[in-house]
Amino acid sequence: MLIDRLATASERETKIETSGFEFGSAIPKHWAANNPVITSFFNAVSSVIPEGEKFFIHSIRYYEKSITDPELLDAVKLFIHQEDCHSQQHHAMNDWLSSTGYPSLNIEDGLRKNLRLLQSHSSPDTQLAGTVAMEHVSTILSETLLNNPELSIRFHPEISRFFKWHSKEELEHKSVAYDVYQTTNPNYWHRVSKLIFVSLILLPAVAYIQLKFLLSEKQLFNVKAWSKAHWYFWVSPGYFRKMMPGYFSYYRNNFHPSDRDLK
Ligand SMILES: [Fe+2]
Ligand SMILES: [Fe+2]
C-alpha cells in the first residue's frame, strides 16, 4: 500500500538524513572502473540533479492543490519528499567533487539561472511535461543500473550504494509526474515533444559538462579511457545500449511508466 511505502520511505530517509553518505578522501577520484571518462559521466549527472530535482518539485507543486484523488495526492507527497532528499544528497556529493577540483558547484549555479529562465518563459503544463520526460530518463537510467549489476561492479562501494539508493527511489515514484500530467490536459505530441527537447538539448548539455570536467583534469584526450568508456556504455555491459528499448517506449501512444515494472 502507498501508506506503507510512505512509512518505509520516511524511515529510510530518516536514517539517511542522520547517517548520510560518506563522500570524502576514501573515495578515489576515478571511482567508476578507475576510468576518468566513465566517472565524469556520472559526476556530470550528479551535478545537474540538485537543481533539476528542484525544478521537478516546482512543476508538480503547481498542480498539487487541484488533485482530488487522495492516493495520487499521497504519491505526490512521496515524490516531493524523495526528490528533495535526492537534491540534498547530490549537492553533498557535488560539494565533495568540487573539493577534488571538478567545477560541479559552478554547474549547479549556472543551471539554477537557466532553469529559472525556463520557468519564467514556459507554461505550467509545459514544465510538467518536461518533468514527465525527465522522469522517464531517470527511470530508464535507474532500472538499467539496478537490473544489470555488472554495470556498477567496478564502482567504489559507497558511490555504488548512493546511486542504487537514488535509483530504487526513482522507480518507487516513476509514475507520479505522468499521473499528475494526466489530470491536466494530456496531449500526445505535447508529451513526446518534451522528450525530443530533452534528447536534443539537455542530454547533450550533460555531455558538455562531462567534457568540461575532463578538460579540468587534463583527461579530455585520454584515448584509452575514451575507448574503454565507449565499450562500457555501448557494447559490454552496454549501459546506453540496454536503455534504448525503454527510451523508445515513451513514444508509444498508450505509454504508461508502469508498463515496464522492474522484474
Ligand atoms: Fe530523484
Ligand atoms: Fe524522480
Average pLDDT of the segment spanning 133-138: 98
Average pLDDT of the segment spanning 83-95: 97
Distance 166 CA to ligand 1 centre (A): 6
DSSP label at residue 25: T
Three-state secondary structure call for residue 79: helix
Kindly list the protein residues that place their beta carbon closer than 5 angstroms to ligand 2, a single-atom ion: 138, 170
Q: Residue written as cell 512543476?
A: 59
Comparing 96 with 202, the larger pLDDT belongs to: 96
Q: State residue 18's pLDDT score.
A: 42
Closest CA to 31 of 139, 154, 162: 154
Distance 176 CA to ligand 1 centre (A): 12
The whole-angstrom separation of Cα 165 and Cα 9 is 11
Distance 218 CA to ligand 2 centre (A): 33
Distance 51 CA to ligand 2 centre (A): 12
Distance 84 CA to ligand 2 centre (A): 10
Comparing 55 with 11, the larger pLDDT belongs to: 55
Distance 79 CA to ligand 2 centre (A): 7
| Measured distance between the N- and C-terminal CA atoms of the chain, rounded to whole angstroms | 19
Residue 167 confidence (pLDDT) above 50: yes
Distance 170 CA to ligand 1 centre (A): 6
Residue 2 confidence (pLDDT) above 90: no
Q: Say how many CA atoms lie within 13 Å of 101 toward its Cβ.
A: 12
Give me the residue spans of the domains in the chain: 35-253
Q: What's the sign of the alpha-carbon dihedral 163, 165, 23, 87?
A: positive
For residue 251 the three cell numbers come to: 513514444
Distance 228 CA to ligand 2 centre (A): 30
- Ligand number nearest to the C-alpha of 60: 2
